[in-house]
Amino acid sequence: MNPPADPRSIAARAEQIIPGGVNSATRAIGAPWTFTSAQGATVTDAAGRDYLDYHAAFGAILLGHGDERVASAVTDATRGAGLVGLGITELELRLAELVVDAIPSADMMIATMSGSESVLQAVRLARGATGRRFLVKFQGCFHGSFDAVARNVISTPERAYGWDPSSAGILEDALSHTLVAEFNDLDSVRQLFAQYGDDIAAVILEPVPHNVGALLPEQSFLEGLREITRDHGSLLIFDEVITGFRHALGGYQELCGVTPDLTTFGKAMGNGIGVAGLAGSREVMSNFSSAGGPVMLAGTFNGNAVSMAAAIATIEVLADPQVGFYDHVRRLGDRMREGLRSITSDLGIPAVVTGIGSVFVTYFLDGEVRGYRDLMRNDDHAYATFHRRMLDSGFLMYPMALKRNHISLAHTAADIDRTLDAASTVLRGMQRDGEFGRGAA
């Protein structure tokens, strides 16, 4: 057997030929630098150290790493037709049937390769179908790297709700037609419609903004958005790239009973294999050029056999009552949230432990959390430090403020209890070391 490698040396070599040594900036977290394998709920770094994984590739893992059912389907797909890039395959049709059957808003769907691509298609389709220019998003919601929506996610207090592009290199015109409102605040939406209503193509939101942890939507807020958009002839887009398939087979819209016009999804759909999609009403989806409409639909890898096979296998497992995926992760999620509440309460640490289903989050603040304004009271230093110390203790939690944690089918009740024991030790240590009340990370 080869001796364990030095993770830092691997990272240093990568830095010479890959910008920053990573292929996505959010992967640069310092130690442990590089991973070599993943199975079930465990990931292993190049030094041979195991971590119980709650990061789950930003939520892309639902069933656990290396699930045999998905792996077998992918292997079979690679022995089939492979990538032809013309016509349609049975795999593409089968996935579309599963998605349309599962998602309440779906009459039709298209397959893409990433959530960012799905959002790009949704925004372009909304503008093409309505002939309007403006888009409304919410402070704290993330919709991928596509120019039109790359603004006002995790903003500093002085930039929140104002001009806060996510990147240099984006033309101002691309962002200036995207307006920013406050989550769970219908008045902020009404004000934008009063000013721009006749030219607003769509409102887009994460129904649960998981990119800032877990802001839970008020039912009246979601219903109000549906009413406002219908009254003004605008489309309602649910970005369910994270909530889709994770919280219910039909996404969060199944749970809340509010049906959008368009739904983006992906992330967990293929249990780690690149695949995503966009679904919506027949009236709106028929505007794609593939159906004779004016909105371009293109993508060589859309609907490729490997992605389709992975998504089909994942959805079939999620839908299997014998597996009981949703009952399992909700039960473990409740166990984790209740345990963290008990620990922080016993220690007298100001905290709001929240989440839904398989997602859990611990904000370090007092009072209610409804929208992004409330998150500006969060102790970002304590948040990041808690995750870093948990990671250093063998529990993989992304060491940055406002990042969520995920439970998979592969996690067990014993895993949760072991995690809570470690969390108690970590939080006591942070309290002893004066890590609370220091402000921004």
Residue with tokens 């780690």: 272
Among 232, 238, 245, which residue's Cα sits nearest to residue 217? Answer: 238
Task: Determine the Cα–Cα distance for residues 6 and 127; give it in Å rounded to an integer.
Answer: 50
Q: How many residues appear in the chain?
A: 441
In whole angstroms, give the CA distance from residue 303 to residue 382. Answer: 43
Asked whether the beta carbons of 322 and 282 are under 8 A apart, the reply is: no
Question: For domain 7-66+324-432, which CATH number applies: 3.90.1150.10, 3.30.160.110, 1.20.140.10, 3.50.50.60?
Answer: 3.90.1150.10
Locate all alpha helices (DSSP H) within 103-135, ordered by sequence: 115-130
For residues 25 and 240, the model is more confident at 240
- Split at pLDDT 50, 70, 90, the class of 31 is confident
Task: Tell me the per-residue pLDDT of 41-100, one tens digit each, with 9 for 90 and over.
Answer: 999 999 999 999 999 999 999 999 999 999 999 999 998 877 788 889 999 999 999 999
pLDDT at position 440 over 60: no
HEC string of 403-419 equals CCEECCCCCCHHHHHHH
The answer to whether residue 441 scores a pLDDT higher than 70 is no
Distance from chain centroid for Cα 342: 27
287, pLDDT greater than 70: yes
pLDDT in tens, 112-157: 999 999 999 999 999 999 999 999 999 999 999 999 999 999 999 9
Give me the phi and psi of 439, to 5 degrees please. 90, -140
Residues 6 or more apart from 415 whose CB is under 8 A from it?
Answer: 41, 52, 332
Joined tokens for residue 341: 């509440």
Dmax of the chain from CA atoms? Answer: 68
Among positive and negative, which fits the CA dihedral 384, 387, 390, 396?
negative
- Tell me if residue 17 falls in helix, strand or coil: helix
Domain boundaries, the chain: 7-66+324-432, 68-319
What stretches of 83-123 adopt beta strand conformation (E)?
Answer: 108-112
Please name every residue paired with 71 in a beta bridge, in sequence order, or none if there are none: none
> What span, in angstroms and rounded, lies between the C-alpha atoms of 139 and 181?
6
The rounded distance, in Å, linking the Cα atoms of 267 and 243 is 9
CATH of domain 68-319: 3.40.640.10
Tokens representing 17 are 């030929």
Q: Is the pLDDT of residue 439 over 70?
A: no
* Joined tokens for residue 378: 């969060």
DSSP secondary structure code for residue 2 in this structure:
P
* Contact present, 157 and 200 (Cβ < 8 Å): no
pTM: 0.95
Task: Return the ∠ at Cα 375 (arms to 26 and 267), rounded to 5°.
Answer: 40
Give the pLDDT score at 7: 80
> What's the chain's average pLDDT?
95
Bridge partners, residue 45, by sequence: 35
Q: β-strand 178-181 against 134-138: which pairing, if any? A: parallel
